[in-house]
Chains A and B, each alone.
Chain A
Amino acid sequence: MERVIMNGNTAAAVGAKLARTQVTAAYPISPQSQIVEVLADFVASGELEAKFIMSESEHSVMASLIAASEAGARVFTATSSQGLALMHELLHWASGARLPIVMVNVNRAMSAPWTMFCDQSDIIAQRDTGWLHIYCEQNQEVLDSVIQGYKVAEKIMLPVLINMDGFYNSYTTEPIDVHDIEAVDDYLPPYDPPVKLDPEEPRTLHGGTGPHLFAEMRYQNWEAMQEALPLAKEIDEEFGRLFGASYGLTEAYRCEDAELILVTAGSMVGTLRGVVDDYRAKGERIGMLKIRYLRPFPVREVCEALKPAQRIAVVDRNVSVGMGGVFWQEIRSAAYGTEVAKKPILGFIAGLGGRDVTPASFDEIIRIARTEPRQDVPIWIGLKE
């Protein structure tokens, strides 16, 4: 194991290298481009034995990786926002095709207005594509999630999307533990799919179908995603034993006796951690629930963690215009019919388009969360009057 200073983009690329990815397809987009540049260096130098496809669009990136995965290769790529959106139809395809593709998404707001800066709107728009969604708080988690991602993906044959915040994670340097590749090999065996394209055993994949067969095929995705819940936890714990870090599906931080629990995901979690410690130091019972897996949604774990609270505040760095932040909706939906639903669950919109979410932002959120009655619209933080 080596400790190296690197930013989130590099960590993602190193994760792919340690996972011995075999094919990567690349297309540049800020703030992700560095990931594919680092990978290109690895491939050119021979540090990573892989084929590097320079694509002409993200749609082609995903099409190439789908085909490469079907042909039996472990594949990887990274993208952001517009690029992620451009591959949207193929995200559905990849999960429907039961392909264990791992992709890192560097969260960037969807245009228009045109911007390069961070929010979760890009990934939220892909929420229902049938992929597993992981939200990383910091860069070590990015590297580790890439490796974990392959393990869970290849067990249940579903693809995995790993998010890190653009600029906050992607361009922030931190000290990162780079695990020994042999240790990773022990954890992550070579990719060996049950079905692959091979002239020795010819098969046709994904011919058209109809009402008489489709539902069961989709149901199998549901089954696999249900299996992903306990499995993701299991492989994360195993990872922890081997490499000393595990992250869980969620992390309940100082929630056991919290009066107010704030729920969020991504780099905001790191800021919130410090805020919770500050308030606790003053004797105020604030807790944080970090959502790491949005899909599959860990309903039971979330409800358990939120039980102690009298009030709940969900902080979304995204908004589904017309309804509210998506994490807010997910939490309320998960809480339905449980004790948690009796408590006021308030939704907050913050940090859109890369606007910084600071401890002061959380002060405002906490102040409002403590007093505002239950409402059916989200509360916008940091907006100019």
Chain B
Amino acid sequence: MTKKSKFEIRKPPPGVSQAQESITFERLEEYPYKSVALASTRANLTGLWRYWRPYFETKRAPCDAHCPVGNRIVDYIQTLLDGEWREAATILRSENPLPAITGRLCHRPCEVNCNRRQYDERIAIHDVESVLAEAAYKPPVLVGVDEPRSVAVIGSGAAELSLAHFMALLHHRVTIFEPGDQLGGELRYGRGARQLPDGLLDAEIARIVEDRVAVEQRKVEMAELEEEFDVVFGSVGGPEHLVLRVSGHEAPARTWDSELEGWLADGGVMEGAVIETPSLVSEAIGYGKWIALILDAGWRGLDAVETLRQIAVGADERIVSLSKYAALLQGAEWNQSEEVVGYDKLNLDLLEPATEVTQDMVQRGLTSVTSRFAGEDDVAHVLSEAARCFSCGRCNDCGNCWIYCPDGVVLRVDGEYEIDYDYCKGCRVCAAVCPRGVISVIEEEEWNE
């Protein structure tokens, strides 16, 4: 059948639609008179091509993974580099109650393991910590367990202060029994004490004690305290021994190591780590934190092993994170992986240009850091060290994934990144150009299962 010819210049509708719409011409009248585009290629869902699926996953930097206190070092460094000093200080102090001390006295496993050390020079993390310790911060607010417990802390060295701090944070009733004139233990009288400027230790202790922790300056015996307190912790019989005693019937239901099982068998007495020199002060702080969080978890009816698995930092279950614990208590998901980004996982030939430290940035730091223990030079130094941090495993908005994605499907809004999976073809260029190992790759099939 011959079609009757009817001439018409069929003008296309104005513009090219950016909607995801498929266009089919069913009748002649629907065709434009010349081959012009009517819609964008958004109709073509190239996400269906994908075999490999890239995804953003924050991982653990080696500094964090080796910090005995469970610090979130990369987090606070990148946050302060962004100019958010208060937030950075908050991160620091939520994990470490004595940063001004550790900044000066810690044996710095973070720096030993810093990836930058294999590139040129390690980041002087201890300096960052010391200066950030002087910045204004907001103490974290946690929801306490229904029935707060009573905690007696004998002595006031690093481990004791740490445990006292975290117990108080978790709303338990803490009393420190210090036989000496002043609080601080080895921190005041030990070898490292000379390195601390005058008044620094007092300031730190004051922050812990504030009006949350009761202090009784007298000598006590364990027996005296057992009746009255649910938990007794501290140096009994000298600074070499840390003892933990928890009321027997409230011991956690499961144990995580043979030490603790022994403790149960003995009716709740455990010999802990021995603090001998101030250089292991961070381990002492980490230890006190660990005990506090595990006991608190037990009192909430949580399983100790499971809890430790969820709040550990790096591979070591004795290093715990308050941030992770807080998330756990709120029922919030912690999407970050404990996979450690070693030097071999970095793509340093694609490193972005370094952040330039400006006067503005220094001035901004000085509005937060107002104590006599850190001045303008310190702030400037800390910023230039922070600028050198590779931000291993943590996105720092370098933009490489956004820049190099051939299809422009790595979306970037205000420093937040997202992959448009409707169109991502799974080429994995983004993963290859991330200098710091933030983008992981999984088989699409595996993801779907």
How far does the Cβ of A75 sit from chain B's closest Cβ, in whole Å? 16
Chain B residues near A206: list those with CB within 8 A: 34-36
Which residue on chain A has the smallest CB distance to residue B10? Answer: A220
Interface string of A193-204 (1 = CB under 8 A from B): 011000001111
Would A156 and B7 be within 8 Å (CB), given that A97-B34, A205-B34, A207-B37 are in contact? yes
A216 interface neighbour in B6, B7, B25, B37, Cβ under 8 Å: B25
Pick from B9, B16, B31 the residue with the most CB of A within 10 Å.
Answer: B9
Which residue on chain B has the smallest CB distance to residue A220? Answer: B33
Contact across chains for A203 and B10 when beta carbons are under 8 A apart: no
How far does the Cβ of B22 sit from chain A's closest Cβ, in whole Å? 13
Residues 1 to 32 of chain B near chain A (Cβ within 8 Å): 3, 5-12, 14-16, 25, 28, 31-32
In angstroms, Cα B34 to Cα A98, docked, is 6
Contact across chains for B36 and A203 when beta carbons are under 8 A apart: yes
B6 interface neighbour in A209, A213, A223, Cβ under 8 Å: A223
How far does the Cβ of A277 sit from chain B's closest Cβ, in whole Å? 40
Q: How many chain A residues touch B (Cβ–Cβ < 8 Å)?
A: 25
Chain A residues near B34: list those with CB within 8 A: 97-98, 157, 195, 205-206, 217
How far does the Cβ of A120 sit from chain B's closest Cβ, in whole Å? 29
Chain A residues near B28: list those with CB within 8 A: 216, 219-220
Interface string of A201-229 (1 = CB under 8 A from B): 11111110100010011011011101100
How far does the Cβ of B311 sit from chain A's closest Cβ, in whole Å? 54
Interface extent on B, as a size class? Answer: 20 to 34
Contact across chains for A213 and B25 when beta carbons are under 8 A apart: yes
Contact across chains for A224 and B37 when beta carbons are under 8 A apart: no
Contact across chains for A203 and B11 when beta carbons are under 8 A apart: no
Which residue on chain B has the smallest CB distance to residue A214? Answer: B35
In angstroms, Cα B17 to Cα A203, docked, is 10
Would A222 and B5 be within 8 Å (CB), given that A195-B12, A213-B25 are in contact? yes
Would A216 and B31 be within 8 Å (CB), given that A201-B14, A201-B15 are in contact? yes
In angstroms, Cα B16 to Cα A218, docked, is 23
Contact across chains for B35 and A194 when beta carbons are under 8 A apart: no
Contact across chains for B35 and A217 when beta carbons are under 8 A apart: yes
In angstroms, Cα B6 to Cα A73, docked, is 28
Chain A residues near B32: list those with CB within 8 A: 195
How far does the Cβ of A13 sit from chain B's closest Cβ, in whole Å? 29
A203 interface neighbour in B5, B6, B16, Cβ under 8 Å: B16
Contact across chains for A204 and B6 when beta carbons are under 8 A apart: no
Chain A residues near B31: list those with CB within 8 A: 213, 216-217, 220
Which residue on chain B has the smallest CB distance to residue A156? Answer: B7
The 9 closest A-B pairs by CB, nearest first: A227-B7, A204-B37, A98-B34, A223-B7, A194-B11, A226-B5, A223-B5, A206-B35, A216-B31
Please report A residues at the B interface, Cβ cutoff 8 Å: 96-98, 156-157, 194-195, 201-207, 209, 213, 216-217, 219-220, 222-224, 226-227
Q: Show 26 A/B contacts (Cβ-Cβ < 8 Å), sorted by A.
A: A96-B35, A97-B34, A97-B35, A98-B33, A98-B34, A194-B33, A195-B11, A195-B34, A195-B36, A201-B15, A202-B15, A203-B16, A203-B37, A204-B16, A204-B36, A204-B37, A205-B37, A206-B36, A220-B10, A220-B28, A220-B33, A223-B7, A224-B33, A226-B5, A226-B7, A227-B7
